[in-house]
A and B are shown apart, each in its own frame.
Chain A
Amino acid sequence: MATKVYGGIAVEVDDEGFLKKATEWTPEVAKAIAVEVGIPALTDKHWKVLEFARQDTASSGQSPGPRRIVASAGVSMKELYELFPKGPGKLVARVAGVPKPKACL
């Protein structure tokens, strides 16, 4: 367990940099994590995806995968990959401050 400072705010993160407590997330934290993962500026589309991920995780108890994001957040799969390059499932979760999507093993 470690503490990191993002956007001037100290937050608890796990070994892979995911927030341990969704309640410690703020938009400032998100902006700083985004820079760290290679997204220099968050656009309105990024925010739409991040807001959906946070709401959905709170109501369903699990981080949404790419298909679920595309079905509900108003972006196409191609856009999602442009917004969060390489691994959108994982990157969205990291910036949105929700748990990393995992398999059982």
Chain B
Amino acid sequence: MTVDGPVPEPGTAPLPGKPDAGSAPVVPAPAKLPAPETHDGEWLRVHPASPFVRGWVALAAIGFFFGRDFFERMLQGRPILEDGFAGRIPWLLAGGGTVLLVAVLGFILTWYFTRYQVAGGYVRVNTGFIFRQQRQARLDRVQAIDIVQPLLARIFGLAELKFEVADAGESAVRLAYLRMDDARQLRATILARAAGVVRDPERPEEAAPEAPEFPVLSVPPSRLVGSLLLSEQSFFVVLGGIASAILSAVTENRGFYFYLIPAALGLAASYWGSFNKGYNFTAAISPDGIRLRYGLLDTQAQTLPPGRIQALRVAQPPLWRIFGWYRIQVNVAGYGAAGSNGETASRTTLLPVGKLSDVMSMLSLVLPDPGTAEPGRVFTAGLAGLDSDGGFVTTPRRARLLAPLGWRRNGYTATSTALLIRSGRWWRQLVVLPHQRTQSMALHQGPLARRFGVADLVLHTTAGPVSPRLIQAGVDEARTLFDEQAARARLARKRQTSEQWLAQVAPAPVVPAPVVPVPVAGHETGASTVAEPEMPAGPQQQEGQQHG
């Protein structure tokens, strides 16, 4: 049974004040739906070349299969056709031609039946010609929107557009491939509609202009290389190298070096992957949110609309401290948890490596209102501070045996907009959690923690690389924070009225319809009179009285 209401029928206007994101904004609808009435967007197709850009691997495989033999014979100087073989040539050619034709036909049909439309607060995509799928996603539910250019698509000037909603499984809408300009234009249109920009009624056909953007920071390649060389990975590489050198010296066995070859290859690939992804990283701010661009061969441009970042972590591995570098990772509902593929890992990285000033400017983008009078001092204390500077509350002294190094650093502080959790003496970490993004919370305490009078507070956010956990806080502090945080999150949620970020600023009539409070006889819980919305029926209440 779902808590949230039914998804509106296509064509009806989106309800602005009813943000039930995260449940099921993507509705794979049955094939035959009545055509939506509001035709402010026509049905479009992706670029005709896209099936070949997407399916070039298959074409190349077919070509390789049939062409390899031919080339081998040419190279070896043998006759291209053997005597007994010549009779079968037409058949082979016909077979190869048929496979090729079927593949190409499949591509073309797929392309022909894939159509998309942006209209009436929705983006819709129809795919498939045997098993048809119609999918629509609400524009104001957009969590992130990415433009990806793999190398081949880049050569052809094409790009893939990904539209993420809070499903975290797969992209809600993937349009591959569009011309780069079209992709940009579509992104601008989607973002403008999602932001609630009111279009000029006299010229409804006019496309939305792209929001202006201002560059914030960029990562020079030298710093990226340095950060890779000083990463945790390199530390273990050096350690492994030394260990194997010692082993081979002790055992006088040269075999160890040979085992290192595949390891080295894997490492090189991993370093190359990180370099390729992080190359030329730039961040910019626009009214539509944070724009990130990066990539050497495959380039990617991400747009994170305001308020879509659920949690943020600034981390500093020990070796990075030499240069004062930090890394920022975020949880965004559409991106999901970092799985086996490295793609999610790079998409959830807000800053691969940056100096303190870069971190501060990124933090100011994510949290425009830090909620404190002196944000610089508080955040610096969160990144590098000890004890109670910056207003942090740390692990009590009585629990210092549990965390002999970290107890002076493990701590929290709350500004009026976000909760800051810091930890780690060597692997420094600062987790920033906007109050209105907290989903639920839990206090944990094991026997050992009880012995020392401490408890952990776990805050749940959407899937992603950041998992906020306040470790080893004093029991009383943790309990107070638990209560206060619940209250703060409640208040912050009430303040947030709309998913449309531009409409949020203006006092638009988007406040949900007031619920008529129906006083209910107090339950056995002792809960005070609860403002109950329309209860479905009487019987349930009677049951409640019986079994409460």
- Are A and B physically bound partners? no
Interface set of B (CB-CB < 8 Å, partner A): none
Interface set of A (CB-CB < 8 Å, partner B): none
